[in-house]
Structure 1
Amino acid sequence: MAHGHSHGGGCSCGAERTEAPERGLEYGLFRRIDLDKLECLNEKSEGSGKSVFRAWEDRGDRSKFVESDDDAELLFNIPFTGNVKLKGVILIGEDSAAHPAEMRLFKNIPHMSFDDTGREADQVFSLNVDVAGELEYPTKITRFSNISHLSIHISKNFGAENTKICYIGLRGEWTEAQRHEVVICNYEAAANPADHKVSQNPVTHFIS
């Protein structure tokens, strides 16, 4: 394929075997997806879009895949359970015209629809056929350093009527969402009318 592959001194096969455990950790962001709220628009089989987000070591399982329905487009709305710094994406498809040809990323736009995809994407990738997870598409980290929601728009494939994806891997870092500040602000606002009592016994006064 266009990415090139040989079994000479620069062979990636051995390197992949050596680095597999570490790489599996790097592609662990699937554990930080709120799968109950993940949406895949235009999927032929309901719920199949969720199945392509799984462990790195299971990326070769071709029994799990998502296929588009009415046309070649797919749209994934992916909410995370905290804040994510997204560093790279890997996409595995079929060795056919059904493989995605373009991937468009949008950050922090929950519940996107196809009507929303006309806006400018945060990053666009032209894809090569990848059936083994050998190609990583690095993101512009400055744009994806603090996201709670990621939308992936597959806008076209290589000419087939429908698109088929077997695996999507997300590499990056996750941090817990900082929600305690909101709690503190609400607490202080509620306590203001009786500051002197709160300073003596804030918990008792708040409950009563």
Structure 2
Amino acid sequence: MCDHGHGHGGGGCASEITEVLHADEGIEYNLDSMIDKEKVQVLNESVEGHGVRVFKPFRERLDKTFYVESDVDEELLFNIPFTGHVKITGITLIGDMDESFPSRIRIFKDREQMSFSDVEGAKPDQEMQLKMDDAGKIDYPLIVTKFGDVHHLTLYFPSNFGNDTTKIYYIGLRGQFNHSFRERIAIATYEARPMPDDHKHSIPETNHSHVC
């Protein structure tokens, strides 16, 4: 695990950053279509409903018409449900090249409806220092063994580079679809279905011989 101090220099988790060299590679950031956007919850957003708009197709990442900005302080918290189970392999962010850019992210898997008090006392599944990026060119890889099967993701941005509020234009998630909840239920139902061989010894014998 990386050093999660508050310094913003080199080393620590920042050393895990890899550059996205070609815009075409952005097609990997396709999990926005798997987000259940009607159920996304964003805490401390200054304008209600703006937070969910930062999850959009990668080709629209540079459109800064809509953005989310924190309200009373620099903290932002996203509760993100998916329409099925997904494997998440990386994340990228776009903001302004100034002190409003988030400086740190704490990520939680499958813990629904988290509040600020919840995240403050919980150990994240991954935590990283961030660098300013206004084009989505920095890729932050996630720990594959922890995010291989996810149905809910919580992103907590506890701080920025010094501004009173935090502003984000785009959050991209890369990975792949695993299966839908309906497919999962079908599989579980099939596995739980009793098979004839399991009960052949419990079926009563219907042919009886009687001696008079």
> Fold match, TM over 0.5?
yes
Amino acid at match of 1:75: L
Amino acid at match of 2:39: K
Amino acid at match of 1:89: I
- Corresponding position of 2:197: none
Q: Are 2:148 and 1:142 aligned? A: no
Cα distance in 1 for partners of 2:92, 2:148 equals 18
Superposition TM-score, scaled by structure 1 size: 0.79
Q: CA deviation at 1:187?
A: 7.0
Q: CA deviation at 1:185?
A: 7.0
Cα distance in 1 for partners of 2:139, 2:187 equals 36
Equivalences, count:
179
Amino acid at match of 1:149: H
Cα distance in 2 for partners of 1:186, 1:111 equals 30
Superposed, 1:56-75 pairs within 5 Å as 56-75=58-77
Higher helix share: 1
* Deviation by residue 1:115-162 (Cα, 9 ceiling, x = unmatched): 111211110110011011110100011010011000000010001000
Q: Are 2:19 and 1:16 aligned? A: no
Percent identity, please. 40
- Corresponding position of 2:185: 179
Q: Is the contact between residue 75 and residue 166 of structure 2 (CA under 8 Å) also seen in structure 1? A: yes
Q: Hey, which bits of structure 1, 4+ residues long, moved more than 2 A?
A: 181-188
Superposed, 1:122-137 pairs within 5 Å as 122-137=125-140
SS of the aligned residue for 2:169 comes to strand
* Deviation by residue 1:8-40 (Cα, 9 ceiling, x = unmatched): xxxx89x525xx1xx243111000000010111
| Aligned residue among 68, 77, 80 for 1:78 | 80
SS of the aligned residue for 1:160 comes to coil
User: Which structure 1 segments of 5+ residues have no match?
Assistant: 4-11, 189-195, 197-208
User: Which structure 2 segments of 5+ residues have no match?
Assistant: 1-8, 11-18, 195-202, 204-212
Cα RMSD, aligned residues only: 2.5
Superposition TM-score, scaled by structure 2 size: 0.78
Cα distance in 2 for partners of 1:126, 1:184 equals 44
